[in-house]
Structure 1
């Protein structure tokens, strides 16, 4: 019975040693797990910014400037002679449209109409097939008139007042149709047709438009693109 004492002591020492080993193993695992869980996440990389400097703002977008709107040529009146001095031409511009009158003062005439481009170009035509091609540049209109198979060059300076007149009436049973051009120097060129037969026109009073045809007083009025259409 005396031998059981040391044996029990030995067994008790073994049990204590096993308990200590088991406790150390458990404590080490928990410490490792806790250390791994509690570590803060690494800081994210950020661009290097110098202290005191703020990022440059993006340049402001500017809207394109609106292009200027082209305007039609100003209203005006023009009159002049053909280059060969055989006839006269008057051109009246109103609101981007034009009416012109070609007249030789004897038996050849034509009324022409059409639009005026913003750059001053114009192509005017008549019912009898005549055609005027001209350009407004500065204070005059220049170009050509094709009429009766012939071409006439011309230059018509601005007159500053009405240069083109017309009168229509029935006189002594005849249909009278008269056209007049008043040139810048005051000279007049015109034709009066009686039932379609042309002849030189008597002069009008530019101030009032008064004119006497076959003993009857008529009034010649300024011609515009609207009144001639």
Structure 2
């Protein structure tokens, strides 16, 4: 009977051990059925990612616009004829496509052919041989300006002309002589011209604008209207 005490104690220990084993089997030490981490385990957090900053939109730059007056319209094609202010000489100008050709003569011995551009505002600066020049401007139905010939300056006014008025020229050969003639037919029908034979200037014979001819030393020559 005295030995029953230790046996009971041993039996109680075995029962306690069996109970603890069954308890561990029931609870388990792994992951729970809900997918969570086991007690005592640490789940590493993902390293934070650095998001690159979005580029700020570039400011819209407005392109500079070219300001200024609109392009001008070139002067219309036309013929002009008139006299210097002192009435001693005549000037005729033919304008075509922004170009001009002019003729100055005194009807005796002095003459000059000039040419150049016509600007959109109607201004022109024409030049010829031996330093001759003509500065003028188209204003309305006329050209007003100055012409410099043989170191002399003359003011002139050339008004718009309709055929047969205008500028004419003939270049040919008569009886072995070189002929170069220029004519200005004014609005009233009068004519001013110089004809040069082998470099010798003289008053030009009368031009027939209707037929475009003139007679030189008994020979009929052809005379044509001048255009640039």
Q: Same fold (TM over 0.5)?
A: yes
1:13 aligned residue: 16
Cα distance in 1 for residues equivalent to 2:11 and 2:31: 29
1:51 aligned residue: none
Deviation at 1:89, TM superposition (A): 0.9
Retained in 1: the 8 A contact 2:31–2:37? no
2:113 aligned residue: 111
Cα distance in 2 for residues equivalent to 1:28 and 1:147: 119
2:125 aligned residue: 123
1:187 aligned residue: 190
Deviation at 1:112, TM superposition (A): 0.8
Task: For 1:125-144, list aligned pairs within 5 A.
Answer: 125-144=127-146
Residue segments in structure 1 that go unaligned for 5+ positions in a row:
38-60
Q: Deviations over 1:124-158 (max 9, x none)?
A: 21122201122233333222211111112222222
Q: Normalising by structure 1, what TM-score?
A: 0.70
Cα distance in 2 for residues equivalent to 1:222 and 1:126: 19
2:155 aligned residue: 153
Cα distance in 1 for residues equivalent to 2:149 and 2:33: 116
Task: For 1:93-108, list aligned pairs within 5 A.
Answer: 93-108=95-110
Cα distance in 1 for residues equivalent to 2:4 and 2:217: 178
CA separation of 1:166 and 1:30: change in aligned 2, threshold 3 A: same
1:214 aligned residue: 217
Could you say which structure has the larger radius of gyration?
2
2:1 matches 1:2:
no
Cα RMSD for the two superposed structures? 3.5
Cα distance in 2 for residues equivalent to 1:135 and 1:20: 121
Deviation at 1:15, TM superposition (A): 5.6
Q: Deviations over 1:43-83 (max 9, x none)?
A: xxxxxxxxxxxxxxxxxx9xx89x97766433221112222
Task: For 1:36-75, list aligned pairs within 5 A.
Answer: 72-75=74-77
Retained in 2: the 8 A contact 1:110–1:128? no
Deviation at 1:117, TM superposition (A): 3.0
Q: Normalising by structure 2, what TM-score?
A: 0.70
2:81 matches 1:85:
no
Structure with the bigger percentage of helix: 1
Q: May I ask how many residue pairs the two structures share in their alignment? A: 198
CA separation of 1:15 and 1:154: change in aligned 2, threshold 3 A: farther
CA separation of 1:20 and 1:221: change in aligned 2, threshold 3 A: same
